[in-house]
Chain A
Amino acid sequence: QVQLVQSGAEVKKPGASVKVSCKASGYTFTSYGISWMRQVPGQGLEWMGWISGYNGNTNYAQKLQGRVTMTTDTSTSTAYMDLRSLRSDDTAVYYCARGSVPGTGRDQVYNWFDPWGQGTLVTVSS
């Protein structure tokens, strides 16, 4: 079955960086894009950006431009989200999710999400 499995919880100090992985299985990785969302505990969902599984094209939320980098490794069907200069308000559960419609163009960012990874809690604290 289609599955996304994320890396484990992280604790980081302010100013540090974190890299979360998202390993896909059960489908052709290069046929779909991956979006990343985050959710502060008890609050709503925030879209962080999208990366094409086909060619690595990205579309980042303007709010995070300059601090976030999304990459893929097609040889292992894994997507990565790197967030730098961490602050306390970056403490959240981070999710990866597959775009539901296959394709290779930049318009694949305009998609609903299914499935989602299990989530990775990133805690930023001094």
Chain B
Amino acid sequence: DIVMTQSPDSLAVSLGERATINCKSSQSVLYSSNKKNYLAWYQQKPGQPPKLLIYWASTRESGVPDRFSGSGSGTDFTLTISSLQAEDVAVYYCQQYYSTPITFGQGTRLDIK
């Protein structure tokens, strides 16, 4: 199984400041034939299902604000929120879809400082 490890487990950032969440996979999720990273990011608010933010490691889902961006390749990935807004308080998860079982990171809780 591919183990997804996020860091940090939680962080607090001031409004308007940058937030960075890391995700590391235990093996590469870069598929050589199409040069795509099989990595997605989700946002989950209390009492709600996860909401898709990013897929293919860096493609922003339609309707997601452009302050959210994804980067990285192979085994190391980053979700960046360029200017934190109050509504961004949530738990964030990375997910690999390179192989089964599909696996998620343990989550990173983001709060306002």
Contacts and interface: CB of A to CB of B under 8 A. Distances in A.
Most B CB contacts (10 A, CB to CB) among A35, A45, A117 go to A45
Most A CB contacts (10 A, CB to CB) among B38, B99, B101, B104 go to B101
B40 A45 contact: no
Q: How large is the interface on B (under 10, 10 to 19, 20 to 34, 35 or more residues)?
A: 20 to 34
Contacts of A114: 52, 61
Contacts of A110: 38, 97-100, 102
A27 interface: no
A44 B93 contact: yes
Contacts of A50: 100, 102
A100 B93 contact: no
A47 B1 CA distance: 12
Contacts of B51: 116
Interface in B73-113: 93, 95, 97-107
B93 A45 contact: yes
Interface of B: 38, 40, 49-52, 55, 61, 93, 95, 97-107
Top 9 A-B pairs, shortest CB-CB distance: A116-B49, A112-B40, A47-B102, A114-B52, A45-B104, A112-B55, A61-B101, A44-B106, A110-B97
